[in-house]
Chain A
Amino acid sequence: MFKVFFAEWRKLRRPTLFLGTFLAALFFNGLITSFIYLMIDSEGGNSDRGRKVGREVLNLASGSVYGFSSIGGLLGIIVLCVFAAQTSQEYTYGTLRNLLVRQPKRLTLLAGKYAAMKSFAIVLVLVNAVVSIAISIYLSDRATVSTDLWFTSAGWSAIAHTLVNVYISVVLYAVIGIALGILLKSPISSISIALVWLLILENLIGAVKPATLKWVPGNQLSIIAQGGSESISYSHAVIVGGAFAVFALLLSSFIFVKRDVAN
């Protein structure tokens, strides 16, 4: 599996992919974190769906990672797209047959790919956490937000919890991305279906019938990143979101192992 892991990293580290993904993530990270502080007094709200996040929230020990937890879902979607494309391109380029000739144990190949994905996600999450917290510190004065509690033991604990939550969310998104790549064998199909579902259909369904938001995968994974929400508990999100990801993992692994590689 280590051979697969290192071989995967030879592909993941190429500048267009690695820097492209990180720059895109950092751009949205900077935008969203800055928005929370710069628009703190805006009547239109300063968070997602027009919600207002006030100083009383940002002054808390968890204030330093509020911005970071807000972008958890977005990081997940970016990683989902990257790994859906990476996986499905093995079919469209025909490179999967080369990989399987060099590593015929298909589960080992898949496990190595997952291991590489998880390590990629760790780096992405850590870099974005550092940048988000740095932006928060930089803009806290301007927004007259107190940072007194941010680096107390409770503050560090909040940072650690948020890191873990965002990481879990990002990995589960990536698992679904890899599964879509295996099932659909096409980068365009897998990414477009994922984006249409996550960004449009889930929101439409939620707007028509809000109760369904407790059961749709994208919302659960975003809520895991945020550590829970007012309407959906963290444990509920982990169970439902995790169930979706495990189902995707098992189904795609079964198909990856059993399906003839005929292209």
Chain B
Amino acid sequence: MVSLMTTLAIEVSDLTKQYENLTAVRGATFSVPRGAICGFVGPNGAGKTTTIRMLLGLITPTSGSAKVLGESVSNPEKYLSFVGAMIEGPAFYPALTGSENLRVLATLGGFPVERVEDLITLVGLSGRGGDKYKTYSLGMKQRLGIAAALLPNPALLILDEPTNGLDPEGIQEVRDLLKKLASEGTTVFVSSHLLSEIEIISEHIVMLRKGEVVFAGPIEELLMNQKPTIIVRTEEPNDLEKIAAIATAEGHKVSIRAGEAHIEGPHDWAPILNKKAFEAGITLAQLTPTLPNLEETFFEMTGGK
């Protein structure tokens, strides 16, 4: 029986999965607090799905340890009845209806079959539960996958790319659903390549690159550690060079791209720059202090574009 009082929903320590000539996950260490929405991001092949599979007892770690809801992943039967999961997209029997697919899993897991119709409605498949899965669109399949993950009324929900194939309305619905579940105490561990999506819904993030964790913790902490930037546009495009000269003279790093000067510097330097520009006879069209968003940070940390 899992301890629902544990403060960490997931606790991974030095976890490694080695295949013959490939290390899919290398010494991963991170934790996910109970009740949080935690994003799990990384480029394709970074080891996200392998990590999720280890957490669900589907593959055996080569070394290291991991606990889910306080129980070791070597005993998945102790915690999986409290875990809902959708791994690598939805997978169901094409010849069965959506509802019948859920009933198979409900029967197998010992969950009330009556929950199936409620979940079908919850994920927006009302009226289509009786249709065969093979007739579903990608978005509908995704919704059914989320419904299946919710069958156990989970304490921990693990979702791999849950918004794949969903239209903007569907994405918003999933976002609202995940927030609602988290507010009710469910821990949500969600992998996605839509970093803007992760930034909106998550408080925590685990970032993987080539099988290694490059950051794990609150998103705010990650972004605060990034260098703040001041974005400047001038009324006269030629004045950008002058702005760059002013900033460089003050010891700030500048890059000019797309008609804007991106100056690395603290936000409280913006009014000083404004004054110096005025004194130099430069009219500013835009002066915006910014922090790098998650996407920029992600590319910087994972060595992407």
Contacts and interface: CB of A to CB of B under 8 A. Distances in A.
Interface of A: 3-4, 6-7, 10-11, 14, 16-17, 89, 93-95, 97-105, 260-262
Given A3-B108, A10-B100, A260 B80 contact: no
The 9 lowest CB-CB distance pairs between A and B, nearest first, are A94-B91, A260-B59, A7-B108, A102-B109, A104-B76, A7-B107, A261-B58, A102-B108, A104-B77
Contact of A98 (B77, B94, B148): B148
18 contacts: A3-B108, A3-B109, A6-B107, A10-B96, A11-B93, A14-B96, A93-B91, A98-B105, A99-B105, A100-B57, A100-B58, A101-B58, A101-B85, A102-B108, A103-B109, A104-B57, A104-B80, A261-B59
A11 B104 contact: yes
A97 B58 contact: yes
A14 B132 CA distance: 11
Nearest to A89: B93
Interface in B83-100: 83, 85, 87-89, 91-96, 100
B60 A4 contact: no
B119 to A, nearest CB: 14
A4 B56 CA distance: 19
B59 A262 contact: yes
Contacts of A104: 57, 76-77, 80
Contacts of A97: 53, 56, 58, 87-88, 91
B130 interface: no
Contacts of B89: 94
A7 B76 contact: no
A11 B83 CA distance: 24
Contacts of B112: none
Give chain B's interface residue range (CB within 8 Å of chain A).
20 to 34
A166 B121 CA distance: 47
A117 to B, nearest CB: 16
Contacts of B67: none
Contacts of B204: none
B56 A101 contact: yes
Given A93-B93, A95-B91, A10 B80 contact: no
Contacts of A100: 56-58
Contacts, number: 78
B110 interface: yes
Contacts of B108: 3-4, 7, 99, 102-103
Q: Which of A11, A101, A260, A261: most chain B Cβ within 10 A?
A: A101
A99 B56 CA distance: 11
B103 interface: yes
B83 A101 contact: yes
A8 to B, nearest CB: 8
Nearest to B152: A102
A262 B53 contact: yes
Nearest to B58: A261
A258 to B, nearest CB: 8
Given A10-B100, A261-B53, A261-B59, 17 more contacts: A3-B107, A3-B108, A6-B107, A7-B108, A10-B104, A14-B95, A14-B96, A89-B93, A93-B91, A94-B88, A100-B57, A101-B83, A102-B80, A102-B105, A103-B109, A260-B53, A262-B53
Contacts of B83: 101
B91 A101 contact: no
Contacts of B85: 101
Interface string B222-255: 0000000000000000000000000000000000
A105 B100 CA distance: 23
A11 B96 contact: yes
B162 to A, nearest CB: 15
A100 B108 CA distance: 10
Contact of B92 (A95, A101, A103): A95
A19 to B, nearest CB: 12
